[in-house]
Structure 1
């Protein structure tokens, strides 16, 4: 039995001088993040998974079905929110509910209305009159209301204040209480990823350059902030990447305790998504290849 809700094996897509090449897995009963800077390939990967863009190579599955030939029966088992997608501006919330109920046999209109009321979203207001934050909440609630087996969410908390973000994250945690479900999510809010997800993939310039669990990120990763002399003389056996920033050398490691013991007094920032993305994005491609080789070994 395949325990992957989503599986991509060297799925490629080329746009001019940009090439996406992604291998990743989203297991059932897990929340996985795809993180990276704008333009790194996250949205393209999401669109390929959903069958909206045909890959140029590789293979992928969504709930066991080939992503290039997704039947409606599989699409009905998936909820999706894409950052650039929106409902027709003249539709009211009630119009969207009726539309969704016509496509999804399991759409729970009662649940949807309860959640919309909980988040202060009127069903008689048109989509064009919704604020950015209101639209973000609305799209996620609609995507969840047919009780899908997989949720694919591109920036679901964009435009939300801290209270609304917390409520939406709690809603996603409640969704995962049903066995066999899975979420693939992207977000520029690192705290959301770290509090919600089990693991993450870091994508940069179209390639996956790191896959790690959130627990190991917290426990073992760190950024060392060094002088040139310290960087030149340090033991680099546990270094993933380095980059010069703000007059210092920032060095990423997945063995924080080793450097705490062997470089006492050195400034060390414990691992987090923001620090990791910053160093990895500014590091050279040769360091990315070294990390990929370590991941394969």
Structure 2
């Protein structure tokens, strides 16, 4: 009996089940949503500094006839494309291209919509040498101050600063089977328990599923997915939510949007506050 217990596979908890769904290679990618929901795409290339990172896609487009700027990462379906796009992980040139597109959108008054499904920014030596950390930090600062409405949607994995660099937005949305975390469960398990095999334990501890992240105030809304896995229905649900939130944002003044954006991100991760009592 003891030997049978030793080889019995661990039970899959809900957080790990959602992780497997979010990572499913057959799941809709950001580019699938972009191509189905937006029209009149005009892709932008290059960061005007080093090169064009094809893992990051930026395009002027239209959402239900209204001009917007769409930024998303590519993951690829074939082995060749996955290698080319580094499985969806951008290099610093990708983040600089994304920022160039956002600033262009600001210049012409176009709302910015980002679609995110990446495990993290590319950690290669060349990327670090060319300023991966600085590129991410620059995006965080600039996105917080963009004077246009901004929406970010996490469609699968939202991993670490690589995802956050595209998600400092007025509305941060998340599909119900997506995950959003500072680190992967494997990385967390390797650090906390020196064993990446404890990834399911880490997944439960990280609280990165949609209900948990919503409760922590890190996302503004959770978007329902098709119960039957119908891609057309899933795309329609996403389109409906994007239009709803964009319409609400466009009714507010830019000064109010900036103030609300600042306050929201300042309050994230505050677990308690201390009231100051003035003694006479």
Q: Which bin holds the TM-score, normalised by the shorter protein?
A: 0.3 to 0.5
Using CA pairs under 8 Å that are at least 6 residues apart, name the structure with larger relative contact order, 1 or 2.
Answer: 1
Highest CA radius of gyration, 1 or 2?
1
Q: Which has the higher helix share?
A: 2
TM-score if structure 1 supplies the norm length? Answer: 0.31
